[in-house]
Amino acid sequence: MAKINLLSRLNISTQLLLVFLAIQIPATTGLVWIAYTHVRDALSIELNNKLQSISDRQINQINEYVDNQLQNTASLSQMPDIVKSMDVLYNLTNLKDKVGFDKKIADIIPNLFTYQKNFRVKNLLFVSPEYKIYCSTDKTLADGTNILELQAGKAELARAAKRAGTILQTDFSDFTFTAENGYPTAFIASPVRNKAGRFIGLIITEIDNEIIDKQINDYTGLGKTGETRIIAKINDKNYFTTNTRTIKLSNQPIEKKTKGEVALDKAIKGEFGFGVIKDAQGTDVVARWAYIPAIRSGLVVKIDLSEALSPIASMAWLLLLLLGLSILFALIASLLAARYLVNNLKVIIGATTKFAEGKLNERIAITQQNEVGKLAHAFNDMAGKIQKSQSELAEANTSLESRVKERTKELSFANEALLSSEEELKQNLEELQATQEVLKQQKGTLENTLHELQSTQNQLIESEKMAALGQLVAGVAHEINTPLGAIRSSVNNIQNNLKPTLPALPAFFASLSVEQQNVFFGLLEKSLQKDMNISAKEERTHKRELKNYFQENGYEKGSDLADLLVDMGIYNYQNEYDTLLKTTESLKNLEIAHSLSGLERSANTINIATEKAAKIVFALKNYARQSHTEVMEEASIADGIETVLVIYQNAMKQGIEVQTDFQFTGKIPCLIDQLNQVWTNLIHNGLQAMKYSGMLTVATKLENDTVIVSIKDTGGGIPVEIQDKIFKAFFTTKPAGEGSGLGLDICRKIIEKHHGKIYFQSEEGVGTTFLVEIPATQPKIK
């Protein structure tokens, strides 16, 4: 359905165009394609025929030359002059007549070059039945050389000679390389017999490869890229035996350039064929390949595919042009047809429009008998009917008007009734005005309430301070009760110590010798110097060492002695108290010394405990001191922070490490109590953010006459989305009841009173640093 809708949206010209194209394009394209494929196939057949005739011609020429050479060599071996000369040389050799032999050779040599020229051979050799060279046109071969001993390029020469000498028939060697040039070459050997039929030597010719070269490098009918290639198998590898159009044989045999040329491989295997393949250089070529038995070589005639296809390419362009033209014609035809159709329709549309505008007399002159004519006829029909019903309507209208007049009268009565209800509306309005008055009064009350609320806020600010204090009280109780416990216990201990020990002292001293007394007092003296900072763990280690010492050295009750000595702060024992401790009374002696020194230890404990309690009380007193004056006094911010930290030390015991770095401890004019409230707030927030576990770093410094306080926690950080809210009043992240949300708002107000600023740096997961800057000198306020 969607397609139909889309089509119906297009105008008629376009619709027609599409239909024309829908018919035109497939038909023309099909025709063009058929024509193209026919031409291509025809071209392919023609090309095959052409390449075949060229390859056939060249194979024939090569065969002819080789046959010729074979016959020539055979003829030479039977030429009477040559047979005679060979016979003479044979006999002179047998007679060992060196002088006669050399003279005969000198006679023969000029003839040798004549034969070479006349018989179109490259080289000519006369060879003895023992395969020794009598003489040769090849300057690389010395006379007298045994050709069976020849190596490398001339090995084929030896092979052909040996075969001809053995089976006494003309023999054609395989192709091989000679040292002199890059052309692979081949040899023909033919046996010579004298009149008696005796084998008296060999005639050997070397074929002239340049002749073959010349024949196959005739490119007639091969266009610009066509060429012929011949390869022979030498030592199991394929080598070009002649130059080609594109590859010139240098002094080195070319093997690599034949590699990968499928046609050459097929040809050398004895196959015949035709096809499009890649040559060894990777070019697409049309090739024909065949085997030439006469020279045991493969032959490939090829032409580059691009050249072979060039006639089709130009034809393809022509066909495309035709295709384009036919589409263009289709376009023009469809446009003309559409315009004719549309013009007819436009007449009908024009009439319809005029009719719709009210010209009911409009009719169409019918000029055609087709569908357009029928449409015009239908329109005229319809127009007539409408004109008729229109006049009927006009009549009905007139009667309607009189009825409307009647109705209007009725309506004016109803209107009067409405006017009376307007009175009621006025009354309602008055009531509304009265209500408004009441609302105004209520607004006044609300304004009062707002004032009250504002004063309540101030009270809340105060109570926030007390709430923070309240949270502290529980911890402070522990801090004070701990020293109190130690004090009470120590006082008890002193009393209990003295009661049994004092009465026994005179008798005890009397029982001691003078030396023992001296040692005893030495022991007491040492004990009174006890280091009070030693830990329980260290004491246990000392006790264990002492106990071991005593047990190893035969003291009685070593374990008890060790316990008492360590209690007294004596950790090393080198028999200095032996006179007291290595007796039967050792334990009693030491217990009395322990009791007496215990008085000192208890007194020490009381001292420490008292100091501690006093410190807490002092801090609390500082903290709680209420100063309602807003007059700034000189005070140290660092001391204030210290006080707050003392109060919080209990809360921080469980896992908070505090680092302080007070670079500035001087006094500045400030409202110290209010600032302390700020520190309390910030430290308290920090501890809560770290859930009482982490590192709290507090630092002060003076920069540009401004005191900078930083309080850094390693808590979770402040989420970005609430960072701009935290200084606002009543904003809190704490559960209901724990924080009023006024803390940081109050802090900000206090800092603003000092003309300073408070801000923070926070990274989620790393922590938050609150920074407070307060000018070291405050403007005078009177």
Q: Give the binding site for another protein (CB under 8 A).
A: 474-475, 477-490, 492-493, 496-497, 532-533, 535-537, 539-540, 557, 559-560, 563, 567, 598, 601-602, 605, 608-609, 612, 650, 653-655
Task: Specify burial of residue 600 (Cβ count, 10 A radius: 0-12, 13-18, 19+).
Answer: middle
Report which secondary-structure segment, H or E, holds 123.
strand 123-127
Distances (CA, A) of 522 to 510, 571, 576: 17, 15, 10
Q: How far apart are CB 480 and another protein at their closest, in Å?
A: 7
Task: Specify burial of residue 325 (Cβ count, 10 A radius: 0-12, 13-18, 19+).
Answer: exposed
Q: How far apart are CB 539 and another protein at their closest, in Å?
A: 7
| Measured distance CA(487)–CA(475) in Å, rounded | 19
Q: How far apart are CB 560 and another protein at their closest, in Å?
A: 7
* Shorter beta-carbon distance to another protein: residue 468 or 498: 498
Q: How far apart are CB 728 and another protein at their closest, in Å?
A: 33
Of the candidates 472, 451, 473, 465, the one whose C-alpha atom is nearest the C-alpha of residue 745 is: 465
Q: How far apart are CB 588 and another protein at their closest, in Å?
A: 13
* Shorter beta-carbon distance to another protein: residue 579 or 604: 604
* Shorter beta-carbon distance to another protein: residue 224 or 540: 540
Q: How far apart are CB 534 and another protein at their closest, in Å?
A: 9
| Measured distance CA(750)–CA(670) in Å, rounded | 10
* Shorter beta-carbon distance to another protein: residue 77 or 497: 497
Q: Around Cβ 236, how many Cβ atoms within 10 Å? A: 5
Q: How far apart are CB 660 and another protein at their closest, in Å?
A: 19
- Residues 6 or more apart in contact with residue 192 via CB below 8 angstroms: 77, 78, 82, 83, 86, 199, 200, 201, 202, 203
Q: How far apart are CB 653 and another protein at their closest, in Å?
A: 5
Q: How far apart are CB 719 and another protein at their closest, in Å?
A: 29
**Which of the 8 DSSP states describes residue 257?**
G
Q: Are 258 and 246 in contact (CB under 8 A)?
A: no
- Please report the sign of the dihedral spanned by the C-alpha atoms of residue 351, residue 354, residue 356, residue 359: negative
* Shorter beta-carbon distance to another protein: residue 301 or 523: 523
Q: Beta 656-662 vs 694-703: how paired, if at all?
A: parallel
* Shorter beta-carbon distance to another protein: residue 57 or 612: 612
* Shorter beta-carbon distance to another protein: residue 271 or 611: 611
Q: How far apart are CB 667 and another protein at their closest, in Å?
A: 34
Q: How far apart are CB 604 and another protein at their closest, in Å?
A: 8
Q: How far apart are CB 606 and another protein at their closest, in Å?
A: 9
* Shorter beta-carbon distance to another protein: residue 560 or 642: 560
**Which of the 8 DSSP states describes residue 153?**
G
- Residues 6 or more apart in contact with residue 173 via CB below 8 angstroms: 156, 157, 159, 160, 186, 187, 188, 189
Q: How far apart are CB 532 and another protein at their closest, in Å?
A: 7
**Which of the 8 DSSP states describes residue 368?**
-
Q: Are 665 and 638 in contact (CB under 8 A)?
A: yes
* Shorter beta-carbon distance to another protein: residue 249 or 609: 609
* Shorter beta-carbon distance to another protein: residue 472 or 671: 472
* Shorter beta-carbon distance to another protein: residue 560 or 578: 560
Of the candidates 687, 683, 681, 698, the one whose C-alpha atom is nearest the C-alpha of residue 656 is: 687
Q: How far apart are CB 595 and another protein at their closest, in Å?
A: 9
Q: Are 530 and 628 in contact (CB under 8 A)?
A: no
Q: How far apart are CB 481 and another protein at their closest, in Å?
A: 3
* Shorter beta-carbon distance to another protein: residue 362 or 479: 479
Distances (CA, A) of 769 to 48, 56, 298, 471, 641: 92, 99, 92, 23, 16
Q: Are 119 and 208 in contact (CB under 8 A)?
A: no
| Measured distance CA(371)–CA(345) in Å, rounded | 11
Question: How many Cα atoms are found within 13 Å in the side-chain-facing hemisphere of 86?
Answer: 32
* Shorter beta-carbon distance to another protein: residue 26 or 485: 485
| Measured distance CA(156)–CA(127) in Å, rounded | 15
Q: Are 754 and 774 in contact (CB under 8 A)?
A: yes
- DSSP letters spanning 719-779: -GGGTTTTTSTT---SPTTT--S-HHHHHHHHHHHTT-EEEEEEETTTEEEEEEEEESSPP
Of the candidates 688, 687, 678, the one whose C-alpha atom is nearest the C-alpha of residue 771 is: 678
* Shorter beta-carbon distance to another protein: residue 583 or 636: 583
**Type of residue found at 53:** S
Ramachandran angles phi, psi of 230, nearest 5°: -125, 135
* Shorter beta-carbon distance to another protein: residue 307 or 556: 556
